[in-house]
Amino acid sequence: MIFPELNGNENLKNQLRRLEQNNRMPHAVIIDGGSEELRLLLAEHLAQWAVCESDGDKPCGVCKSCTLSKAKSHGDIHYAKGEGKTDIYNKEEMSFIVRDAYIKPYISERKVYILSECDRKLPVISQNIFLKTLEEPPQDVLFIMTCKTAKSLLETIRSRSVVFTLESELSYDEEYLDLAKELALGITAHTEMEFLKAANKLDERAKALTVLDLLILLLRDGLSVYVGGEAELDARTAEALCKKLTKKNYLELIDIVKDSQLKITQNVGLKLAATDLCAKCRRALWQR
């Protein structure tokens, strides 16, 4: 198996290699640990592996199935969509998935279903619908569930799946987290002074990138609390943000921060990147 950038995770890679070599890749897997982004990265990678047409190492990245799966348009890879404000996989959707799983794949040898962030989106009633299919899964299907911790799923679901646990990836200084909090609160402050004051402390590229990683996590936390979930990094900042931000705000701000990180990696000056970030965040917030 060829691996994506998983920041170490050697134990997990060995586990996957062993399963592949012994031809014992399960029909249902749960990916937990790591970050939401990393969980999805691995889920999509396994999906691509499952549909890849290469006779050699998979996923080859160049066959038709790999190309389609990278473009998220492979007919045999189904992303559960979820419904409503909280993106819940409801009864109807789960019933569709378990019916659809018995229909033969269109172009590949296997069909894949990706259900992301199941601790939040897959209620017990839907897990129960899923259970029967997991007991006797169709031959050519791979179900991939992601969640913060597999323990949040029913024991009956867990015992019928193989759990792949990602290492927690983020290591940072407390000082960096404080700075990220200042930035987060600065975004919603009355004037731009607070944000710029914090941004001026981003005096090194690596430091700036880590602090912005943390800022993204704080915004994700805020969004998670906003839709009724829990904060992973800092509950107090998340609650403060929630008083001021909407779901749309969160999503826009996360994109803006990611874009700023990209600019920093492309060697845009840190001062310029900070002022640009400040302006864009405030614009996103005050254009109603």
Q: Which range binds Zn ion by CB under 5 A, 53-61, 69-77, 170-178, 211-219?
A: 53-61
Which strand ranges, in their side-by-side order, compose the sheet holding 141-146? 77-79, 111-115, 141-146, 28-33, 162-166
Instruction: Out of 40, 42, 66, 281, point to the residue binding Zn ion (CB under 5 A).
Output: 66
In this structure, are strands 111-115 and 77-79 parallel, antiparallel, or unpaired?
parallel
CB of 63 or CB of 225, closer to Zn ion? 63
CB of 67 or CB of 275, closer to Zn ion? 67
Residue 205, phi then psi, degrees to nearest 5: -60, -50
Buried b (16+ CB within 10 A) or exposed e, 140-163: bbbbbbbbbebeebeeebbebbbb
67 binds Zn ion (CB under 5 A): no
CB of 63 or CB of 209, closer to Zn ion? 63
Residue 48 Cβ, how far from Zn ion at the closest point, in Å?
Answer: 7
Give the count of residues interacting with Zn ion (CB under 5 A). 6
| Other beta carbons less than 10 A from residue 14's beta carbon | 10
63 binds Zn ion (CB under 5 A): yes
Q: For residue 59, give the DSSP letter.
A: -
Instruction: Out of 12, 52, 215, 218, point to the residue binding Zn ion (CB under 5 A).
Output: 52
CB of 62 or CB of 125, closer to Zn ion? 62
Q: Which residue has the tokens 């290699």?
A: 17
Residue 144 Cβ, how far from Zn ion at the closest point, in Å?
Answer: 17
Residues of this chain that bind Zn ion (CB under 5 A)? 52, 54, 59-60, 63, 66
